[in-house]
A and B are shown apart, each in its own frame.
Chain A
């Protein structure tokens, strides 16, 4: 079946450090991949997505590339800010219509000044 495995946290970085949060997936067919973010006291919101192999999703300085050969969708940011402190969730949809949705366990990121 479909599943998402996400790097465990918590992760603590200094401001302007490089961020990588690893995510690998198992899926049949042609899944879509997502990163969602949950800021303190707020609901989940979409950060970025990719719908097919080699697609790169990007938003707010974050990037992730859909790698079919390694079944990965790692999240990266070149220089984190204190405001990036949040919990990040990798997720997949089993098809292009939003069915069979699975989330990873989440990675908590704290950025210190």
Chain B
């Protein structure tokens, strides 16, 4: 079974530029999560989708971050414009979703450096 795919693996941009990350979850997984992991910290949930609907985006900085999962499968996370403090690893995870189906499977992440 293929795992969660993320691209790119690495990205270096200058502040005020835009960047987008892509995630393809495990086939059949209804729930998709995006996390931000700053060096030395635990992952912080940015947004959670159930199929193509948003379940939780309470910690997403909506003035600069956006995410979509239009067809309920793959998803993109965008930052526009980027700030220095956005330097982090962006993790995508998926789960089957539903009661008792809460094990998350993680992709390898995208490491973003904002200069």
A interface residue numbers (CB < 8 A to B): 4, 6, 32, 34, 42-46, 49, 51, 89, 91, 93, 96-106
- Given contacts A46-B104, A97-B101, A98-B103, could you give 17 more A-B pairs where the C-beta distance is less than 8 Å? A34-B103, A43-B91, A43-B106, A45-B105, A46-B105, A96-B102, A97-B98, A97-B102, A98-B97, A99-B48, A99-B55, A99-B56, A101-B104, A103-B43, A105-B40, A105-B42, A106-B41
B interface residue numbers (CB < 8 A to A): 31, 33, 35, 40-45, 48, 55-56, 91, 93, 95, 97-109
The 6 A-B residue pairs whose C-beta atoms are closest, nearest first, are A98-B102, A103-B42, A44-B106, A43-B106, A43-B108, A96-B99
Task: Return chain B residues, CB-CB under 8 Å to A93.
Answer: 102
Among B42, B48, B105, max chain A CB count under 10 A is at B42
A97 to B50 Cα, complex, angstroms: 11
A44 to B64 Cα, complex, angstroms: 26
A110 to B106 Cα, complex, angstroms: 23
